Structures are given as C-alpha cells and as structure tokens.
Amino acid sequence: MRKSLLAFSLLALLTGKAFAADYVVDTAGAHASINFKIQHLGYSWLTGRFNTFDGKFSYDPAKPEASTISVNINTDSLDSNHAERDKHLRGEEFLYVKKYPIAKFVSTKVESLGAERLKIFGDLSLHGITKPVIIMAEKIGEGKDPWGGYRVGFSGTTRIAMADYGIMTNLGPSSTHVELMLNLEGVKQ
C-alpha cells in the first residue's frame, strides 16, 4: 500500500498529472446527502432527503469528462421530518417503495464546463421508469484529509417532473416537479 502510494505520487510528480481514481461516496461517515425539494402549494419549499444510499465515481481532475458516477438510493429511507407524510410518500400514490425499493442514477457522459463545473448526463431510474436527466455539478474541493485519506466532493442538482416517472398524484400546479440536490464526498480507494 505504502509503496504503491509512493510510486503513484512519484508518477504524478513526474508527469505533473493526476490519474483517474476511484472514489466511494462517504456514506459511512455521512459526508454525503441526497435531498429533494418540492413546492408546497406554490407558497414555500418542502425539503426532505433519502437517508440510505451508496455511490461510487471515478474522477481525474485533469480529464473530468472521463468521469463516471453511479448512485443507488433506498427509496424507503425517505425522510421529510413528518412520519405521516413519509408514510404517504412511500406508499402507492407516490414512490411505491415496496415495489420500487431502489432508485438509481448512472452517468452516461460528462461534459466539463470549466471552473470545476460539470454537466453530468445519465439515466435516472425511479418508480420503475428510467429517463435521461442532466445533473449540473460543481466540485467543492479536493485534497488530503487529516486521517491519511484523499477526498473530493461535489454538489449537483437536477429537476424532474413527477409525471415523467409515472407519479400522477396531483399536488397542485406548483408542485409538479421535484428538485434533487446531491452532495457527495468521495474517499479515494
């Protein structure tokens, strides 16, 4: 381990370039969150999150468009800080988590927009339906952590129409779309 790290550092030094590395999203330490928000009646934002998920990505700062990422979300871990509403949102009228326990995002293409900004194309599977979405992401930071590891973190958002995923329950004209916000810190493997 030490040797390969040393070799890697030397190589990086010599070439002046980093290499695409694999990262695992730090759900163990909870330095990651998957949040959603939806308007309530058009008067305010309701926010919630999914507490259980996992993800991994590969990233090379020198070649960001070669990055890939996949995230799996346990839909029954939905938490909007209101048990009765969570029960309702997990039920058949919304996420139907008994039938569709996993939601998933897998990237297909990444475009670099410069200034640490990425446009991540991919497929989002939710409620049994898979559709392409674009996540606008931004690198927050990267570097060594105080405990001997190496981390990089991103924040990304996308917006989906509930009807696109077959969720037809009417919550009103201002509440047809859900915004998803992902904050993912990865630990280099």
Helix (H, G, I), strand (E, B) or coil at 19: coil
**Token pair 């995230």: residue:** 71
Which 3 state secondary structure label does DSSP give 32? strand
* Surface-to-core class of residue 100, CB atoms within 10 Å of its CB (0-12 exposed, 13-18 middle, 19+ buried): middle
- Rounded Cα gap, residues 22 and 173, in angstroms: 42
- Residue 15 or 44 having the CB closest to other proteins: 44
Of the residues 20, 21, 171, 181, which one makes contact with other proteins according to CB under 8 A = 171
Pick the closer one to other proteins by CB: 85 or 119: 85
121 vs 137: CA distance, rounded Å: 10
Among 9, 47, 170, 189, binds other proteins (CB under 8 A): 170
87 binds other proteins (CB under 8 A): yes
Q: How far is the CB of 18 from other proteins (least distance, A)?
A: 41
* Region of 14-22, 57-65, 80-88, 111-119 interacting with other proteins (CB under 8 A): 80-88
Residue numbers of the site for other proteins (CB under 8 A)? 76, 81-84, 86-87, 90, 169-172
